[in-house]
């Protein structure tokens, strides 16, 4: 089975022992005070640490935390993989609010702490596959995006969901360059957004999201390439028409709207058939839908996934 229930496997069987023991110790509170000060909000940290195990988890070995937080794509802080870790300290994640608007009956604005408390949070172990050919396995913390969207009652006209990230060149030095047309925008079809695997994400590895990983709130869509998972979100818009996403605008030949992990469709500049798991030397075969086909393939019944890439 791709996804195992919590009773099927013990955490110590899927996590390197040193990381597992360290994380359990951290979650018991020994380092809570220091972590709260470091991340700027002890209450939010405590909420993330309260995450319960989830049935949505893969049994792959976890990518070490140091790699997860030091090898990132987050162009708002620079185009090199180590730029976000070096530069994201300038991001202020409190106060923060997210507005949900558009084709909804009850548009709302949530401050980040209310958003974190809206539903019980879970720890979900998901694969993350980058379009450039590398991948990670990360214990994310959050709850299904569908829980939030139901709060605003989408209308029948809501066919797509658009995510808008923060635009603030003072906090995000990468936005001083015209690599993309800022702010960063991404989108999903409404049924993709409402799928239970689509995670509204507030943390990883038992702590709130580090700035370089998309603090204070991001999306994780595990069967799509990583750039589909918008970071540092300030607005969620439910719309009638397919939104123009940032990477589609920048290079429509290379980045389609759907961007499902598909090893049979090459990027124009490289093959997608293989991937390199961070921390491993040899490449492995790329799995269709990143290995989540059993859960999501039915969303694309009848679609030509070479055309709608």
Give the pLDDT band of residue 51 (cuts 50, 70, 90): confident
State the Cα–Cα distance between residues 133 and 108, nearest whole angstrom: 38
Q: Is the pLDDT of residue 242 over 90?
A: yes
Give the span between the Cα atoms of 50 and 27, in whole angstroms.
Answer: 8
pLDDT of residue 115: 97
**Quick one: average pLDDT of 22-32?**
37
Name which of 302, 287, 279, 309 is nearest 71 in CA terms.
279
Rounded to whole angstroms, how far apart are CA atoms 188 and 131?
17
pLDDT digits (tens, 9 = 90+) for 85-119: 999 999 999 999 999 999 999 999 999 999 999 99
pLDDT, mean of residues 37-58: 64
For residues 126 and 140, the answer to whether their CB atoms sit within 8 Å is: yes
Answer positive or negative: Cα dihedral of 78, 284, 255, 149: negative
pTM of this prediction?
0.86
C-alpha to C-alpha distance for 299 and 189, rounded to whole angstroms: 10
- Does domain 11-300 correspond to CATH entry 3.20.20.70? no
pLDDT of residue 49: 53
Please give the Cα distance from 161 to 192 (Å, whole number): 9
Q: How confident is the model at residue 55 (pLDDT cuts 50, 70, 90)?
A: confident
DSSP 260: B
Q: Is the pLDDT of residue 296 over 50?
A: yes
Query: Quick one: average pLDDT of 191-199?
Result: 98
pLDDT at 1 over 80: no
Average pLDDT, the chain: 88
In DSSP terms, which residues pair with 227 in a beta bridge? none
SS3 286: coil
The C-alpha torsion from 118 through 63 and 257 to 160, rounded to 10°, is -10
Inter-residue contact 275 to 137 (CB < 8 Å)? no
Q: Confidence class of residue 29 from pLDDT cuts 50, 70 and 90? A: very low
Residue 147 has pLDDT above 60, yes or no: yes
Q: Where do the domains of the chain lie?
A: 11-300
């Amino acid at each position: 089975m791709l996804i195992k229930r919590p009773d099927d496997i013990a955490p110590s069987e899927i996590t390197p022992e040193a990381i597992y023991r360290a994380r359990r110790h951290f979650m018991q509170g020994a380092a809570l005070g220091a972590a709260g000060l470091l991340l700027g909000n002890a209450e939010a940290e405590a909420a993330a640490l309260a995450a319960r195990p989830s049935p949505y988890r893969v049994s792959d070995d976890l990518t070490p935390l140091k790699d997860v937080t030091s090898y990132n794509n987050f162009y708002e802080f620079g185009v090199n993989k180590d730029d976000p870790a070096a530069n994201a300290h300038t991001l202020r994640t409190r106060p923060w609010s997210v507005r949900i608007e558009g084709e909804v009956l009850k548009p709302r604005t949530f401050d980040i702490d209310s958003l974190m408390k809206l539903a019980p949070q879970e720890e979900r172990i998901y694969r993350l596959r980058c379009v450039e050919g590398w991948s990670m396995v990360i214990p994310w913390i959050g709850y299904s995006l569908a829980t939030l969207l139901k709060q605003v009652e989408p209308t029948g006209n809501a066919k797509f969901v658009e995510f808008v990230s923060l635009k603030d060149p003072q906090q995000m030095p990468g936005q001083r360059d015209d690599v993309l047309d800022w702010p960063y925008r991404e989108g999903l079809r409404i049924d993709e957004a409402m799928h239970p695997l689509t995670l509204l994400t507030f943390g990883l590895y038992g702590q709130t999201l580090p700035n370089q990983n998309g603090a204070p709130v991001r999306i994780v869509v595990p069967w799509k390439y990583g750039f589909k998972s918008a970071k540092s979100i300030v607005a969620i818009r439910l719309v009638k028409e397919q939104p123009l996403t940032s990477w589609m605008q920048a290079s429509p030949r290379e980045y389609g709207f759907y961007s499902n992990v598909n090893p049979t469709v090459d990027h124009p500049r490289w093959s997608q058939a293989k991937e390199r798991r961070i921390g491993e030397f040899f490449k492995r075969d790329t799995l269709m839908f990143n290995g989540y086909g059993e859960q999501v393939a039915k969303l694309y019944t009848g679609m030509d996934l070479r055309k709608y890439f």
